[in-house]
Structure 1
Amino acid sequence: MKVKHTAAWVGFTAAALVATSACGADSVKQAAEAVDKTDAIMAALARATDRTEQLGSAEVKVSTDLGTGTPIAMDGTYSWGDGMAYDVHMDTAAAQMQAVQDDPKIHCLLVDGVYYYDVDPQASGPLKGKEWMKVDASAVFGERGAASMNAGGNPTASLKGLKYASDVEDLGSQTVNGQKATHYRAVIDQKHMGSFKEAYTGDGSLLNQMTGGADTITMDVWLGAKDLPVRLVQGMGKMKVTMDFTKFGATATVKAPPAAETADMTEALKEAQGQ
């Protein structure tokens, strides 16, 4: 197994999974004075933010295009009520993780700022006899970027960023996944990314490498009849992430695997990217 190559792709997929959590509340103070939108748009986004924050979790389907032509599909649960967490299954081949998992789907967790990947125990090397591979978020986003993501990376933060971005467009009513929804769009530049700027553009961030150093984020959100997002889409340079929400609330608590069953690949990933 090529440990460094696998570690690098682990970082890419980890970054992609949380890419929909851009532009947290820190951006609000910086952008609020520049806003010039109708009361109707502001009210709709405010209601969606409050409702999403209140429910705290959702079942989701995610598609991530890293610019390779083969999107990575994943589905599962995403929680943000008590810190960001997820429990998803991802397409193994699309994520280029066949070296560590024979099954077509690989089970992935995010708990307390640490990513876990369910792997096949190896006969030798750092994954010998281990069921899970572990990577700390600092290896993916850099130390400062990881702190920003852990503090506020969630769909609520995305909605707040859209709510206070300049030039939000109302693109009208559309049907998404069988639901009638209103489509809003905004382009968010670096100065309005708040503390998330480090995660998206910092020198130690794999996400910066993945996007090709993009300095803007195009945000699209479709809000349904119950003032909840039906779909969130983010475009950052060559990367595009689409998250569909299928059901809100009442998801199970995400727990970390037993420590004895995990192999920590954080340093291998940092070494692979030259941190």
Structure 2
Amino acid sequence: MSKTAWKRAGVSATAIAMVVGAAGCGTESGAQERTVTQALTASYKKTEKARTVEVAHEITFKNGPKGDNGTAKISGVQGWDPTLMDLTMTGGGELFGAGSGGPEKIRMKWVDKALYMDMGAEAAKDMDGKRWMKMDLGAVAEMSGEKGDKELQKQLTGGLDSMNQDPAQQMALLLESPNVKRVGEKKIDGVRAQHYRGSLTVEEMLKAGKTLDLLDGKERKELLDGMKASGVKTYDTELWINEDDLPVRIEVSMKMSDGDMDMVSTYSGYGVEVKVEAPPAGQTVDMMEMFMDLGKAMEESAPADEPAAEGEPATGADETPIGDELEKALKDLEELGVDVEGDPSLQKELKELEQAEKDLKKAEAELKELEGSTATG
């Protein structure tokens, strides 16, 4: 996946979690606003208690920086408190960085704070026969926290950590807006539902106050941080709530730093049983382990056992050229979609490693010259 693809995946994950109220026109009376607020608050409470739901999303990307537009369909089940997800995506492989040769369907699981993606049999050929790719967001946060590298964490997660926000949290955020508007009544799949419409900016999100008191401090911080990391600038929302105070349909239009996204979502089966199991370790490639391997390749520029002959690359104890090891590690990361060239921290480490190799070659040349002088002397 490219950096844009990871961000898109994270933005979609954020949007998928949105069972939202909406902010908008601001022309209703105070009494009507209170009625809308009461309705959305009731829906918030019912949604929070449900904890699971069956979902179906149709996501369309437009105005992408490289013309990479298109539509993806995602369906399955998800849960919150604890966060669980088992979704299947069709038609969106290229949008999310799987490439033109990627699988027609990609299954995504979220369990134990980790995201797993089934990249298909073709991708498994380049991953030692393993078809599942794992991103442990807890490990990403720990690594970036230790090194203070927030830019690296942002690139790796692309907002994917925002998936741990449940729909009730998103509704609590939008309830803060003073301009919620009820449009009317409409039947959705034969079910009567109340229709709400509006828009919200990131600035309004960040100014949210009293309504977010429904969330504890950690939940509120995760919610706002996730929205900022996803690159969302504004979004327009259409929301339908049924007679049981549960959202049944949401239409969201988002303006983002990497293009625009429209999503139509339908929800049913609140409270359905959800069981998600992680794929077997033997069938999984861990992205964090890939980064650890790259880090070792960068940090370990061991001196050669013997001085290299002129024109030959320096080698370590295993007789493998250092440059070859680095090139292989970089290739592995690029195949997993890591934007090596676009990451300042990785580029800095690469330059340091290149300088270390130059210093090593210079030292070897001086040693060879010294040995030659000793022999003739």
Query: With structure 2 as the length reference, what TM-score do the two structures score?
Result: 0.57
Whichever residue aligns with residue 260 of structure 1, its letter is G
Shift of 1:101: 4.8
Shift of 1:78: 1.1
Shift of 1:200: 3.1
Shift of 1:105: 2.1
What are the Cα deviations for residues 7-45 of structure 1, in whole angstroms up to 9, with x where unaligned? 863553344133243699xxxxxxxxxxx6632111111
5+ residue gaps in structure 2? Answer: 21-29, 63-67, 141-151, 207-220, 292-332, 345-377
Shift of 1:146: 5.5
Name which of 236, 240, 248 aligns with 1:222: 240
In the other structure, the counterpart of 1:95 is: 93
Shift of 1:54: 0.6
Cα 1:117–1:150 shift into 2, 3 Å:
closer
In percent, how many aligned pairs have the same letter? 22
In the other structure, the counterpart of 1:86 is: 85
Cα 1:255–1:56 shift into 2, 3 Å:
same
Query: Larger % of helix: which?
Result: 2
Name which of 328, 343, 356 aligns with 1:274: 343
Q: Which has the higher contact order (CA 8 A, sep 6+)?
A: 1
Whichever residue aligns with residue 191 of structure 1, its letter is E
Whichever residue aligns with residue 60 of structure 2, its letter is D
In the other structure, the counterpart of 1:61 is: 56
> Which structure has the greater CA radius of gyration?
2
In the other structure, the counterpart of 1:181 is: 193
Shift of 1:192: 3.6
Cα 1:183–1:120 shift into 2, 3 Å:
same
Shift of 1:225: 1.0
5+ residue gaps in structure 1? Answer: 25-35, 209-213
Shift of 1:163: 1.9
In the other structure, the counterpart of 2:110 is: 110
* Preserved CA contact (<8 Å) 1:119 1:133: yes
Shift of 1:223: 0.4
* Preserved CA contact (<8 Å) 2:33 2:178: no
* Preserved CA contact (<8 Å) 1:140 1:146: no
Give the CA RMSD over aligned residues: 3.2
- How many aligned positions are there? 247
Distance 1:116 1:11 in 2: 16
Whichever residue aligns with residue 95 of structure 1, its letter is G
Q: Does 1:232 align with 2:250?
A: yes
Cα 1:159–1:200 shift into 2, 3 Å:
closer
* Preserved CA contact (<8 Å) 1:20 1:158: no
* Preserved CA contact (<8 Å) 2:77 2:85: yes
Q: Does 1:241 align with 2:271?
A: no
